[in-house]
Structure 1
Amino acid sequence: MSGFYPMTSLELRPVRHVIPEDTRLWRVHNARYAPDEFNPTLADPFDPRQGSRFDGTVLDPYHSLYLADTATTALSESVLRSRPFERSESMRIIPYVTVRGRSLSVLRTTCELVLVSLIGATDLAAVCQNTLLLEDESNYVQARHWAREIRAQAPDVMGLIWQSRHNRPQHVLVLFHDRFGHHDGKPFEVLPDDGVADLGSKDGVRRANRLLEPLRAKVSEPVWT
C-alpha cells in the first residue's frame, strides 16, 4: 500500500473493477525495457508537463505500468495524442520517429487485477471527480494528486481503469507496482509471439498501420534500404 494518509476530507467510495486471471493486455513501451517492467521514473508532483497522467511522484513513489485491452488501443494511446487530420490525405499522419525504438507487447495476467473504475460518470462521482480528471491535458498535477488520494483510501486496489481517449469505448489502465507483493511483483506472463518487438522495422510499421487504419491514422514509412 502507499503508506500515506488521505489529504482530503472527502469520503471516496471507489467502484471496483476486476480483470480476471488469464486476460490478455497490450502495451507500447521503449524496446530497451522488458515488456512486463514497471516504469520506475517518478513524475514531478507540481509540473503538469512532465510524465504521464497517473505516474507516481516523490509524494507517493510507486512505479507505474500502463496497459490497454486491445493492441489498437495501446498503439493509439501512444501515437495519436494531439494528432490532427491532415487535409492532403484526410488522415492522421504519425512521424516515423514516434515508433522507432519501441515495442508492442502482449501480457497475460497470472492473477486477478482489482482496479478502481473511472470508466463511467457514476464511477468518477464515486471518487468525487468528473471527466476533467481524464480529459484535461493540463491537469496532470490534479490527476496525480487524486491517484494518491484513491490509493490512500483504497489500499487493496492494484491500479485504475478508464475509457481510452483515442479509441473509445475501449479501456486503458495503470498498475501500481507496490500492490503486487503477494505475486513477487510479477503479475504477468509475457507472450512474445503475439507482439511486435520492433515497431520501427518495416514489418513493424506495416503491422502498426493495419491496426491504426480504422482510426484513419498511419505511420510515415521511411525509405527502406
Structure 2
Amino acid sequence: MPNYRPPEAMNGTPAKVTLARGTVLHRVHKSHREAAAFNPHPAHCLYGGGRFDGTSCDPYGYLYAGLSPAAAVCETLLRSLPFDPSGGPRLLPRVSVEGRRLSTLRLTTDVTVVSLMTAQELAAVHQDSWLVQTEAIDYAYTRDWAHWIRRHTDPWAQGFVWSSKREPGDRTVLLFGDRCPQGAVSAAEPVEGGGVDFGTAEGEQWLNSVLQPYHARLAP
C-alpha cells in the first residue's frame, strides 16, 4: 500500500464529523509549548515526523490530541514499545517523558473534521486501515496522503479523526492550524487531572497509573 500513490481525482465523498464546541481533548506535549499551541514546524517530507504532520510540500500547523488521557498517553509514549518476553511490564525510558506534560483542552467552537474511523470512511478517500495503522517507517507516505485529502476537502476539513492505533477503543484527532480559527482550542479550566507535569513525583505516579493497564511503567 505505501507504493500506491493518491489518484488525481477523489471519486468518493469524505465523511464529515463535527466535534462540538466544548469537546474536551487531551494532549501530551513538550512543556515549553503552550497547551493549545499548534506545532508550527513542518516535518521533513521524507524523514522523521508524525503520521499526518505538515511538511514543506503542504505547510500547516498541527495539533494531535486524544479524546481521553489514555489515548493521548498511548499514542505519544507507547509507540513501538515492545513487550518483555519474560512477562514483565514494558519499561518506558525516562528520556521519553523528559520535559513533557499532559494538558486538557477544550474546543471553543464547532470543528468539522474528516472521519477515518471505519472501512467505508477510509474507502471514501481511496484508503484502508493502512493509513491509520501503519508504523513510523511509512509516515512519509501517510503524510503525502494527508496532504492529498486536505487538497480535496478544502476549505471545509479542519482536521481528521480516527481510531487510536494503540488504544483502539478510543479516538485520536489531528487539527489543522491553517483551517481552525484563532482560539478554536483553549486550555481547559482547571479540573482534576486537567494538567500533569511528568517531571514531578505526582506526575510520575499519575503516569504509571495510566500505563499500568497497558502492562507498562516508567523505567526505574
Structure 2 Cα separation of the partners of residues 97 and 88 of structure 1: 23
Q: Deviation of residue 73 (structure 1)?
A: 0.7
Match of 2:3 in 1: none
Paired residue type of 2:128? N
Match of 2:64 in 1: 66
Q: 2:187 aligns with which of 186, 190, 208?
A: 190
Paired residue type of 1:61? P
Preserved CA contact (<8 Å) 1:8 1:149:
no
Q: Deviation of residue 43 (structure 1)?
A: 1.3
Give me the identity figure in percent. 35
Question: TM-score, normalized by length of structure 2?
Answer: 0.90
Match of 1:3 in 2: none
Q: Deviation of residue 7 (structure 1)?
A: 6.9
Match of 2:15 in 1: 15
Deviations along 1:88-113, one digit per CA (max 9) or x if unpaired, are 55321101111111010000111111
Structure 1 Cα separation of the partners of residues 194 and 91 of structure 2: 23
Q: Deviation of residue 132 (structure 1)?
A: 1.1
Question: RMSD of aligned C-alpha atoms?
Answer: 1.6
In structure 2, do the counterparts of structure 1 residues 41 and 88 end up closer, same or farther at CA, with 3 Å as the change threshold? same
Deviations along 1:49-75, one digit per CA (max 9) or x if unpaired, are 411010111111111000100001101
Match of 1:165 in 2: 165
Where in structure 1 are there 5+ consecutive unaligned residues? 1-5
Paired residue type of 2:162? W
Structure 2 Cα separation of the partners of residues 25 and 145 of structure 1: 26
Structure 2 Cα separation of the partners of residues 15 and 40 of structure 1: 27
Name segments (4+ residues, structure 1) moved above 6 Å.
none
How many residue pairs align between the two structures?
Answer: 211
Deviations along 1:12-58, one digit per CA (max 9) or x if unpaired, are 4110111111111000000000000000111122x1x4110101111
Structure 1 Cα separation of the partners of residues 54 and 185 of structure 2: 21
Q: 2:112 aligns with which of 111, 114, 124?
A: 114
| Map 1:68-147 → 2, pairs under 5 A | 68-137=66-135, 138-147=137-146
Paired residue type of 2:151? A
Q: SS in structure 2 opposite 1:29?
A: strand
Where in structure 2 are there 5+ consecutive unaligned residues? 1-5
Question: TM-score, normalized by length of structure 1?
Answer: 0.88
Q: SS in structure 1 opposite 2:25?
A: strand
Q: SS in structure 1 opposite 2:91?
A: strand
Preserved CA contact (<8 Å) 1:72 1:211:
yes
Q: Deviation of residue 122 (structure 1)?
A: 0.6
Structure 1 Cα separation of the partners of residues 8 and 210 of structure 2: 42
Preserved CA contact (<8 Å) 1:12 1:150:
no
Q: Deviation of residue 189 (structure 1)?
A: 2.5
Preserved CA contact (<8 Å) 1:105 1:195:
yes
